[in-house]
């Protein structure tokens, strides 16, 4: 730390992104990316926009916002687009929580929540998941603060049904409930349908996972126009051009190719079922996932050791050192060939461990 770094950030522990390895070629199952390339239409759109990079992007994202609104059955003023959905989470925490409306989220969830809370000096409470890693909705009823819930949750993959989300939203009428649906397209039911009825509900989603655009950075949120206006006040006070020209065009093209992407999600769901059974047959506990990853622990080898042995053999998964989950690994669901490679490599490791 330099001697110029201001003291209000001195205690900040930044988020640690998953490894993006250089050099060696891994079967990369550590950052929940899609194994499928963007559609041809998206690639063409990016190339075409490349010729116009001398111009600023449209800060209102007019075309994309209209298409997204139509896709999700809401009005354009109920949508805001950002540079990945992380951006929205930061804006939403800034806009809707402070000492009078502190944050509540699970103890095991997306690691960026405590970071954004600390960055913005917002007090927060981590509510423990139950013993089977579920969110108990009763813990969030009338908490008198801003609630953020990833649904499905990460890294567990567990999904709350829509009526449970609705009950949490209804029980906190004076505070915003943020539902982070980064993984909703892999078998969940979105809370977007509730938005017209609740002015305190904000739903965030991303093009990073189900639409193969992690590298383009495109996230969006849907809420009533008043919430979106507040978020835009912060966005226009930070960086109105947060969605670049190529990404906005890629987003429009991706929505035109929605069938391709939703088909890919079905393949991921099939591969998830296959991987779950294959790991269970090897003695693993695999949490029931509705995301593009599974969270699994072996009855024969420790979490960190398995992570390291897999890495040695060229398969990268994500291990978290947090005490409650240190025996688990989060494994992104890729193509069937990638998952077969994972399972074969696990078998090899278990055989070596048994010797």
Q: Does 42 bind ligand PMP (CB under 6 A)?
A: no
* Distance between CA atoms of residues 92 and 223, nearest Å: 11
Cβ(164)–Cβ(44) below 8 Å: no
* Distance between CA atoms of residues 205 and 209, nearest Å: 10
Q: Would you call 135 helix, strand, or coil by DSSP?
A: coil
Cβ(269)–Cβ(159) below 8 Å: no
**How many residues line the site for ligand PMP (CB under 6 A)?**
12
Residues 161-190 interacting with ligand PMP (rule: CB under 6 A):
180, 182
Strands (E), 145-210: 146-150, 177-180, 201-206
Q: Does 129 bind ligand PMP (CB under 6 A)?
A: no
Q: Does 353 bind ligand PMP (CB under 6 A)?
A: no
Closest-approach residue to ligand PMP (CB): 84
Residues 285-324 interacting with ligand PMP (rule: CB under 6 A):
none
Give me 336's structure tokens: 């069937």
Tell me which of 206, 224, 264, 275 binds ligand PMP, using CB under 6 A.
206
The string of DSSP codes covering 85-132 is HHHHHHHHHHHH-STTS-EEEESSS-THHHHHHHHTT--EEEEPP-TT
Q: Does 86 bind ligand PMP (CB under 6 A)?
A: yes
Span interacting with ligand PMP, options 59-67, 68-76, 84-92, 195-203, rule CB under 6 A: 84-92
Tell me which of 93, 96, 104, 110 binds ligand PMP, using CB under 6 A.
110
Residues 213-272 interacting with ligand PMP (rule: CB under 6 A):
214, 219
Of 278 and 333, nearer to ligand PMP (C-beta) is 333
What is the contact surface with ligand PMP in residues (CB under 6 A)?
84-86, 110, 150, 154, 180, 182, 206, 208, 214, 219
């Amino acid at each position: 730390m330099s001697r110029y770094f201001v003291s209000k950030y001195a205690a900040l522990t930044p988020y640690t992104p998953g490894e993006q390895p250089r050099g060696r070629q891994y079967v990369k199952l550590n950052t929940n990316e899609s194994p499928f390339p963007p559609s041809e239409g998206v690639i063409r759109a990016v190339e075409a926009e490349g010729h116009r990079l001398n111009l600023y992007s449209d800060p209102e994202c007019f075309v994309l916002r209209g298409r997204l609104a139509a896709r999700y059955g809401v009005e354009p003023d109920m949508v805001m687009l950002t540079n990945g959905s992380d951006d929205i989470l930061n804006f939403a925490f800034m806009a809707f929580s402070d000492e009078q409306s502190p944050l509540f989220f699970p103890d095991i969830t997306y690691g960026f929540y405590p970071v954004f809370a600390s960055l913005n000096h917002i007090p927060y409470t981590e509510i423990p998941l139950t013993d089977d890693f579920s969110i108990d909705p009763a813990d969030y009823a009338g908490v008198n603060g801003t609630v953020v819930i990833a649904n499905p949750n990460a890294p567990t993959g567990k999904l709350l049904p829509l009526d449970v989300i609705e009950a949490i939203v209804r029980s906190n009428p004076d505070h915003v409930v943020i539902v982070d649906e980064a993984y909703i397209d892999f078998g969940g039911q979105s809370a977007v349908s509730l938005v017209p009825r609740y002015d305190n509900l904000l739903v965030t989603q991303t093009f990073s996972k189900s639409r193969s655009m992690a590298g383009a950075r495109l996230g969006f949120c849907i809420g009533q126009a008043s919430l979106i206006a507040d978020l835009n006040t912060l966005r226009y006070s930070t960086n109105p051009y947060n969605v670049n020209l190529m990404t906005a065009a890629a987003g429009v093209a991706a929505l035109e190719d929605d069938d391709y992407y939703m088909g890919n999600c079905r393949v991921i769901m099939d591969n998830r079922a296959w991987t779950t059974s294959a790991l269970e047959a090897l003695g693993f506990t695999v949490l029931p996932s509705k995301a593009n990853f599974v969270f699994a622990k072996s009855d024969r080898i420790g979490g960190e050791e398995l992570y390291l042995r897999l890495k040695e053999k060229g398969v990268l998964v994500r291990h978290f050192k947090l005490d409650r989950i240190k025996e688990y690994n989060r494994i992104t669901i890729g193509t069937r060939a990638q998952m077969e490679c994972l399972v074969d490599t696990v078998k090899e490791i278990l055989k070596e461990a048994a010797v």
